[in-house]
Amino acid sequence: MSSTAVWNILLSILLICKGYHAAECEANSRKDRELNININSTRNSTGDWVSSFTARKDTNSDPSDMNMDITWKFSECEEKKTVLVRGLLRESPSRKAERLLFHPNCGTNVAIVNNGRTIVKLNDDEKYHGFAMTNRPLKDNELFEVRLDRKTTKWDYGMAIGVTTHDPNTLVVPIYVDDLKNGTWFFRRTCFHKDGNLINENYMEPLNKQKVGDRLGIKRTEFGTLHVYINGVDKGPAASRVPAVVYGVYEVRNEVVAATIVDPSK
- Best CA proximity match to 98, nearest among 65, 132, 68: 65
Residue whose CB is less far from ligand NAG, 4 or 54? 54
Around Cβ 113, how many Cβ atoms within 10 Å? 13
Q: What distance in Å separates the CA atoms of residue 220 and residue 99, rounded to the nearest whole number?
A: 17
Q: Are 248 and 218 in contact (CB under 8 A)?
A: yes
> Smaller CB distance to ligand NAG: residue 184 or 260?
184
CB 242 within 8 A of CB 223: no
Smallest separation (angstroms) from ligand NAG to the CB of 167: 8
Least distance between ligand NAG and beta carbon 263 (Å): 29
CB of 56 to ligand NAG, least distance (A): 12
What residues from 32 to 51 belong to the interface with ligand NAG (CB under 6 A)? 40, 42, 44-46, 48, 50
Q: Closer CB to ligand NAG, residue 42 or residue 59?
A: 42
- Report how far residue 203's alpha carbon sits from residue 228's, in angstroms, rounded to the nearest whole number: 9
Rounded least distance, CB 49 to ligand NAG, Å: 8
Residues 47-86 that bind ligand NAG (CB under 6 A): 48, 50, 52
Contact pattern from residue 153 through residue 192 relative to ligand NAG, giving x for each residue in contact according to CB under 6 A and a dash for the rest: ------------x----------------xx---------
CB of 182 to ligand NAG, least distance (A): 4
- What is the distance between the alpha carbons of residues 39 and 125, in angstroms, rounded to a whole number? 65
Under DSSP, the state recorded for 262 is: P
The distance from CA 30 to its chain's CA centroid, rounded to whole angstroms, is 30
- Find the DSSP H helices in 56-132: 94-98
Q: Shortest distance, CB of residue 44 to ligand NAG, whole angstroms?
A: 4
Spatial distance between the Cα atoms of 11 and 53, rounded to a whole number of angstroms: 11
Task: Give the interface size with ligand NAG as a residue count (CB under 6 A).
Answer: 11
Q: Which is nearer to ligand NAG, 39 or 88 (CB)?
A: 39
DSSP structural state of residue 102: B
In the complex with ligand NAG, which residue's Cβ is closer, 137 or 158?
137
Of 159 and 246, the one with the shorter C-beta distance to ligand NAG is: 246
Measure the CA–CA gap between 262 and 100, rounded to whole angstroms: 9
Helix/strand/coil for 179 = helix
CB-facing half-sphere around the CA of 16: CA atoms within 13 A = 10
Minimum separation from the CB atom of position 114 to ligand NAG (A): 30
Q: Which is nearer to ligand NAG, 182 or 265 (CB)?
A: 182
Asked if residue 196 binds ligand NAG (CB under 6 A), the reply is no
Residues that bind ligand NAG (CB under 6 A): 40, 42, 44-46, 48, 50, 52, 165, 182-183
